[in-house]
Amino acid sequence: MGLLLRDRHFRVHMGNDTSSWRPQRNSLPRGSVHAPLLFNLYSNDLPVTRGQKFIYADDICLAIQGQYFRELECSLSSDMAWMSHFCRQWRLKPSASKTISSVFHLHNTCATHELSVYLYGQRLRHERHPTYLGVTLDRTLSYREHLTKNAGKLKNRNNLLMEITGSTWSANTLWSSARRFAIQQQSTAPQTGHALLTQVTSMCS
C-alpha cells in the first residue's frame, strides 16, 4: 500500500525530448485494484446534502425528490455548491463537462422541460436518457431505451451466429463473417467496434 502513496515520480515524453523526473504528489496509479478503495476512504466525509448520494468509485449521483421543477433546481444547485466547496478543499476537481442533470416524472405536458442546475457557475448539460452504471434511463423509468439498445446488440450477434451456422465451416468463412461484424459494430459503436476488430485480427492472424 505504501508504494501507491510514497516515493512516486513521473516524467513527460514529447517527441524526442524527455523531462526530468518530478515527484508525484497526488493521484493514484491507473488500473490499481486499491485505487477505488483509497479514493472511497479519501472522500468518505462528503458533506451532508439534501439529496441522497449514490456512490460508485469516483461516480457520484445526487438524487432528490420534489413537487416543482424550481424546487429541484434550487436544491440540486445548493448541493452542488457544497460538493464543489468540499472538492476544492481536498484538491479534487469535478468535471462540469461530464456532469449532467436529469429529471424523471410522468407529466407528459412537461416532457421537454430541462433542469437548470449549476456547477462553478456553469449550467450543467441536461440529458434526457442518461446512462448510469451501464443502464440507460428514461423520463418515466420504463427502461425502454435500455431494452431497445440491448435488443439491437442481441440482433447483431444473432445475425452473426446465423450467418456462421448457415454456411460451410472454414477458417476463411469464420474470419470474413467475424470481421464484417466487427466493422459493422465499429460504425455504430466506435470504441466497441475497434476493440472487436483488433481482437478478431489478432485471433485470425
Residue-wise pLDDT tens for the chain (205 aa)? 776 777 888 899 998 999 999 988 777 777 777 777 887 888 888 899 999 999 887 788 999 999 999 999 999 999 999 999 998 888 888 888 889 999 999 999 999 999 999 988 899 999 999 998 889 999 999 999 899 888 888 888 888 777 766 655 555 555 565 666 555 555 555 555 455 445 444 544 4
- Helices and strands counted in the chain (H then E): 6, 12
C-alpha cell at 199: 481482437
CB atoms within 10 A of CB 25: 7
C-alpha cell at 165: 451456422
What is the reported pLDDT for 204?
47
Torsion angles phi and psi, residue 11, rounded to 5: -150, 165
What is the reported pLDDT for 160?
76
HSE-CB at 170 with a 13 A cutoff on CA atoms is 5
> Which one-letter amino acid corresponds to residue 149?
K
Residue 75 and residue 69 in contact, taking contact as beta carbons nearer than 8 Å: no
What is the reported pLDDT for 103?
94
